[in-house]
Amino acid sequence: MSEAHKAGFVNIIGKPNVGKSTLMNTLIGQKLSIITSKAQTTRHRIMGIINGENFQIVYSDTPGILEPAYELHKSMMSFVNVSLEDADIILYLTQVDEKPEDNNVLKRLNNLNNVPVFLLINKIDKASAKQIEDAINMWNQRIKANEIIPISALLAKNTDHLFQLILDYLPEHPPYYPKDDFISDRTERFFASEIIREQIFLHYKKEVPYSCEVVIDEFKEKNNMLYLRSIIYVERDTQKGILIGHKGEAMKKMATDARKELEIFFEKKVFLETIVKVEPDWRNKKSKLSKFGYNT
């Protein structure tokens, strides 16, 4: 008899450079039977899935969560909130010499109900025992965390313990994704288009994003730089106008943020071209749908 199956979304958040990617690699790389893949939906950016016989962990991170609020309009905030509340476990990654600010994230984390939060103190390999202890005490007063765990993502120190705790807290649930190679057949173009689509959701009001479809028309790598040409299909001229905005400002903002996310994702400089085309009623047209990669 096998135990009940556990599965869930583990969301890694934290400031730039604290070691999120390193931790992801360590957590995924240490384990066998892995699908390393990256995907993105409007809710989660899936960076990797680890499958075990009795568990499935879907790691993801939340883009821009610790960015200053200057561009974060309401929809972005609710987006961030949803992605926090959607997680089954939140890993809030900090580094050992980090000074906590009273940022919105801390506030929101402390107001979360029913979502376990692990406060991780990373890079302990370059700290003394005293510094580590001080950091633990300091965070203890600042955050309502279920666990405070010092680690070194780079040297895989204490990450087995972290992994065990993740398993302990993971809810009982059947796998969210098939355990065979489900995402691995998705191409980089797919991920690029999802990243752009997400930015459209963050930058435009409700109705517009739903009428957009993003196709990566060209995907070329040259001199360690990616050249992407994306076509954003909309249904009507009015939507095209909204997307582009006055003097192209709206599109420029969206494309800039998309490019930044693409650069993080692909770990390369990205040159992104965005073209908007009107494709009347694409949602109702089967041929178009299959062109966009939907199963019809």
Q: Is 152 in the site for ligand GDP (CB under 6 A)?
A: yes
Question: Is residue 168 a contact partner of residue 38, using CB atoms and an 8 Å limit?
Answer: no
Among Mg ion, ligand GDP, none, residue 152 binds (CB under 5-8 Å by kind)? ligand GDP
Q: Name the closest residue to Mg ion (Cβ).
A: 21
Chosen residue from 125, 217, 221, 273 binding ligand GDP by CB under 6 A = 125
Q: Is 22 in the site for ligand GDP (CB under 6 A)?
A: yes
| Residue 115 C-beta: closest distance to ligand GDP, Å | 21
| DSSP letters spanning the chain | -PPPPEEEEEEEEE-TTSSHHHHHHHHHHTSSSEEEEEEE-SS-EEEEEEEETTEEEEEEE-TTTTS-GGG--HHHHHHHHHHHHH-SEEEEEEETTPPPP--HHHHHHHH--S--EEEEEE-GGGS-HHHHHHHHHHHHHH---SEEEE-BTTTTBSHHHHHHHHHHHSPB---SS-SSSSGGGS-HHHHHHHHHHHHHHHHS-THHHHT-EEEEEEEEEETTEEEEEEEEEESSHHHHHHHH-GGGHHHHHHHHHHHHHHHHHHTSEEEEEEEEEE-TTGGG-HHHHHHTT---
Q: How many residues bind to ligand GDP according to rule CB under 6 A?
A: 15
226, β-bridge pairs: 221, 270
Question: Which of these ranges, 19-27, 66-74, 119-127, 182-190, lies near Mg ion under the rule CB under 5 A?
Answer: 19-27
Among Mg ion, ligand GDP, none, residue 16 binds (CB under 5-8 Å by kind)? ligand GDP
Question: Which of these ranges, 64-72, 151-159, 221-229, 272-280, lies near ligand GDP under the rule CB under 6 A?
Answer: 151-159
Question: Is residue 8 a contact partner of residue 88, using CB atoms and an 8 Å limit?
Answer: yes
Question: Which of these ranges, 146-154, 178-186, 224-232, 244-252, lies near ligand GDP under the rule CB under 6 A?
Answer: 146-154
Question: Which of these ranges, 108-116, 120-128, 176-184, 216-224, lies near ligand GDP under the rule CB under 6 A?
Answer: 120-128
Its sign, for the CA torsion 162, 167, 171, 174, is positive
Chosen residue from 73, 126, 144, 179 binding ligand GDP by CB under 6 A = 126
Q: How far apart are CA 81 and CA 232, in angstroms?
A: 27
Chosen residue from 11, 60, 122, 239 binding ligand GDP by CB under 6 A = 122
Structure tokens, 184: 């691995």
Q: Is 179 in the site for ligand GDP (CB under 6 A)?
A: no
Question: Is residue 147 a contact partner of residue 118, using CB atoms and an 8 Å limit?
Answer: yes
Q: Is 73 in the site for ligand GDP (CB under 6 A)?
A: no
| Residue 111 C-beta: closest distance to Mg ion, Å | 26
Chosen residue from 5, 15, 21, 253 binding Mg ion by CB under 5 A = 21
Rank residues 154 and 165 by Cβ distance to ligand GDP and give the closer one.
154
Among ligand GDP, Mg ion, none, residue 2 binds (CB under 5-8 Å by kind)? none
Among Mg ion, ligand GDP, none, residue 295 binds (CB under 5-8 Å by kind)? none
Q: Is 153 in the site for ligand GDP (CB under 6 A)?
A: yes
Q: Is 83 in the site for ligand GDP (CB under 6 A)?
A: no
**Residues lying near Mg ion in the complex (CB under 5 A):** 20-21
**Residues lying near ligand GDP in the complex (CB under 6 A):** 14, 16-22, 122-123, 125-126, 152-154
